[in-house]
Amino acid sequence: MLSPNQFSNKVGLSYAQVLYMCKSNQIDAIRTNRGHYKIPEKEVDKFTKNDDYVSKEKYEAAIRENERLRTELGRLKRFVDDIAV
């Protein structure tokens, strides 16, 4: 059994996101008598072996690429605007 912090480190999600997912039953977690969540190891597979899962590194790379493309599109737009004038 994993704590939400251990689970978040294994799957690359934030601690807050894991807690939210536990509370909204998106993760099959067990709640202890003291109100803490424990997550079975098998839940890690749902996040690491799913084709829909995107690792934190891939997500951040996509964000960087989107920002690069946005910058390039801005430059292209200014270039076209300058030619049209």
The DSSP result for 10-24, as a single string, is HHT--HHHHHHHHHT
Domain ranges of the chain: 1-51, 54-85
Q: What is the mean pLDDT of residues 56-71?
A: 92
* DSSP conformation class of 2: B
Residue pLDDT, tens place only, 8-45 = 998 888 999 999 999 999 999 999 999 999 999 888 88
Q: What is the mean pLDDT of residues 38-58?
A: 78
Angle at 43 between CA 47 and CA 9, to 5 degrees: 65
pTM: 0.55
For the chain, what is the mean pLDDT? 89
Residues ≥6 apart with Cβ < 8 Å to 36: 3
Angle at 59 between CA 45 and CA 5, to 5 degrees: 50
pLDDT at position 51 over 90:
no
* CATH code for residues 1-51: 1.10.1660.10
